[in-house]
C-alpha cells in the first residue's frame, strides 16, 4: 500500500538583483492578490526605502515596529484588520519580517518579503520566532509569496549583517549532518533532494568566499542567492532540518541566556565549529568551518560573540533540552566533553 504524500510550498516570485525594488509592484501584481497592502517595517528601512515601496501601491498603511514582540504582532494584526488590508509587505531585516510573518499567519493573509539585509535565511522561509519572556514562540508558517531582494540595498547594510547571513548558510553543513544522523538513528524522514541542495548551497558560498567582501554588491548577490536556495531547501523538506541542527539549538539557548548579545548567524556559526567537531572529531572538518567563517569576518569564538566561556558551555550542555529534535547532542553533552570540544576547537 503506497501512502506517501508531499506538499511543497514555495515563493511564487523571487527577484534578486540590482534595482529590483522598483519591480516590487510588478512582482506582486502577478500574484493576483486582492486588496491593499499594509507595509510592516522598522525605522531605518522605512527611512531608507519606505517611500520607494509606498509609491508603487495604494497602501492600506504602514506599521513601524522597533522590536519583534507579541505587542508588535498585535499592532500589525489590528492595523491590517482596521484598514481592511489584503496582504502584508514586510520591509527590513529580521524584526519586521518575523513580525509580519507571524501576523500574516494570524490574519490568514499573504506576505511579501522585501529584505534590506542578507542576515539570515528567514527572509525566504515561513519560519518566524518571537521572544516572549525567556522563551521564544515559533511558527512554521507558509513561506512568503514573493521575495524581492535588491542587492543595491543589501550591499549598503552593515557588513556584520551580511557576514551573519554567510555564517547562517555555512551552518547548513552541520545541520544536514544532524538531519542524516537523526534519519539513521531515529528514522526521521530525510529528503535527499533538500539535503543535497542545502549542502551544495553552503559549498558554493564557501567556494566563492574570495568574492565576499564589504561594500561589493556582488557579495550581497552571492549571499542573497544562497539564502534563497537555503529557504527553498526548507520548503522542499517541509521542515527547517536542512538549515537547522544542533548549532541552531545552541544558538536558541544563547538567546535565552544572553538575549540580544550577538547576531543569530554569528551564534550558529560559532556553534557549528563545535558541533562539527562532535560529529567528526579532531581531524574532522571543524577547522574548515572555522576558516570559512573567519574569511567572511564572522566570529569564531565565544568571546568574539561577546559571550563568556561558561555561558557558552552552559548553552552547549543544555541545548538538547530545547526541543524534540534529535542531533549530535543526543541526550546531552557532558560538561567535561563540552569543555574539551570547545577548547580543542579554540571556541573558548
90 secondary structure, DSSP code:
E
Min separation Cβ 264 and Zn ion, Å:
6
Min separation Cβ 5 and Zn ion, Å:
27
Whose cell is 525605522? That residue is 43
The nearer residue to Zn ion, 77 or 98, going by C-beta atoms, is 98
The nearer residue to Zn ion, 168 or 285, going by C-beta atoms, is 168
- Residues in a beta bridge with 87: 37, 110
Neighbours of 130 (CB within 10 A): 21
Min separation Cβ 271 and Zn ion, Å:
10
Neighbours of 152 (CB within 10 A): 14
**What is the β-pairing status of strands 146-150 and 135-140?**
unpaired
Binding region for Zn ion (CB under 5 A):
168
Min separation Cβ 297 and Zn ion, Å:
18
**118 close to 147: Cβ distance less than 8 angstroms:** no
110 secondary structure, DSSP code:
E
Min separation Cβ 215 and Zn ion, Å:
24
| C-alpha grid cell, residue 66 | 522597533
Q: Which residues of 272-282 are buried (b: 16+ CB within 10 A; e: fewer)?
A: bbbbbbbbeee
Min separation Cβ 128 and Zn ion, Å:
12
DSSP H or E stretch at residue 169 = helix 159-170
The nearer residue to Zn ion, 138 or 295, going by C-beta atoms, is 138
The nearer residue to Zn ion, 142 or 168, going by C-beta atoms, is 168
**100 close to 77: Cβ distance less than 8 angstroms:** no
The nearer residue to Zn ion, 138 or 156, going by C-beta atoms, is 138
Position of minimal CB gap to Zn ion: 168
Q: What gap in Å lies between CA 286 and CA 304, rounded to an integer?
A: 17
User: Residue 142 CA to chain centroid, in angstroms?
Assistant: 14
Whose cell is 501512502? That residue is 3
The nearer residue to Zn ion, 87 or 173, going by C-beta atoms, is 173
The nearer residue to Zn ion, 264 or 320, going by C-beta atoms, is 264
Min separation Cβ 173 and Zn ion, Å:
13
Amino acid at each position: 500500500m503506497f501512502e506517501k504524500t508531499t506538499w511543497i510550498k514555495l515563493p511564487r516570485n523571487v527577484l534578486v538583483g540590482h534595482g529590483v525594488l522598483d519591480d516590487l509592484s510588478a512582482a506582486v501584481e502577478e500574484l493576483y492578490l486582492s486588496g491593499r497592502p499594509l507595509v510592516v517595517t522598522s525605522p531605518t528601512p522605512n527611512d531608507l526605502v519606505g517611500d520607494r515601496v509606498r509609491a508603487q501601491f495604494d497602501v492600506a498603511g504602514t506599521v513601524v515596529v522597533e522590536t519583534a514582540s507579541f505587542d508588535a504582532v498585535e499592532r500589525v494584526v489590528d492595523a491590517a484588520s482596521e484598514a481592511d488590508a489584503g496582504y502584508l509587505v514586510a520591509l527590513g531585516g529580521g524584526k519586521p519580517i518575523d513580525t509580519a510573518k507571524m501576523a500574516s499567519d494570524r490574519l490568514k493573509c499573504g506576505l511579501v518579503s522585501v529584505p534590506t539585509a542578507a542576515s539570515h535565511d528567514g527572509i525566504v522561509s515561513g519560519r518566524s520566532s518571537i521572544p516572549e519572556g525567556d522563551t521564544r514562540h515559533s511558527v512554521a508558517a507558509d513561506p512568503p509569496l514573493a521575495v524581492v531582494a535588491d542587492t543595491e540595498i543589501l550591499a549598503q547594510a552593515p557588513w556584520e549583517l551580511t557576514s551573519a547571513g554567510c555564517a547562517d548558510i555555512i551552518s547548513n553543513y552541520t545541520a544536514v549532518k544532524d538531519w542524516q544522523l537523526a534519519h539513521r538513528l531515529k528514522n526521521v524522514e530525510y529528503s535527499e533532494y533538500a539535503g543535497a541542495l542545502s549542502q551544495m548551497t553552503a559549498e558554493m558560498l564557501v567556494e566563492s568566499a574570495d568574492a565576499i567582501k564589504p561594500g561589493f554588491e556582488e557579495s550581497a548577490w552571492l549571499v542573497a542567492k544562497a539564502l534563497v536556495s537555503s529557504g527553498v531547501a526548507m520548503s522542499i523538506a517541509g521542515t527547517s532540518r536542512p538549515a537547522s541542527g544542533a548549532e541552531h539549538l545552541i544558538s536558541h539557548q544563547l538567546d535565552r541566556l544572553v538575549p540580544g548579545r550577538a547576531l543569530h548567524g554569528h551564534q550558529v556559526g560559532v556553534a557549528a565549529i563545535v558541533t562539527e567537531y562532535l560529529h567528526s572529531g579532531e581531524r574532522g572538518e571543524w577547522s574548515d568551518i572555522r576558516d570559512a567563517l573567519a574569511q567572511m569576518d564572522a566570529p569564531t569564538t565565544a568571546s568574539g560573540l561577546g559571550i563568556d566561556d561558561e555561558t557558552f558551555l552552559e548553552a552547549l550542555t543544555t541545548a538538547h533540552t530545547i526541543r524534540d529534535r534529535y542531533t549530535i547532542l543526543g541526550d546531552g553533552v557532558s560538561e567535561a566533553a563540552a569543555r574539551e570540544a570547545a577548547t580543542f576547537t579554540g571556541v573558548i
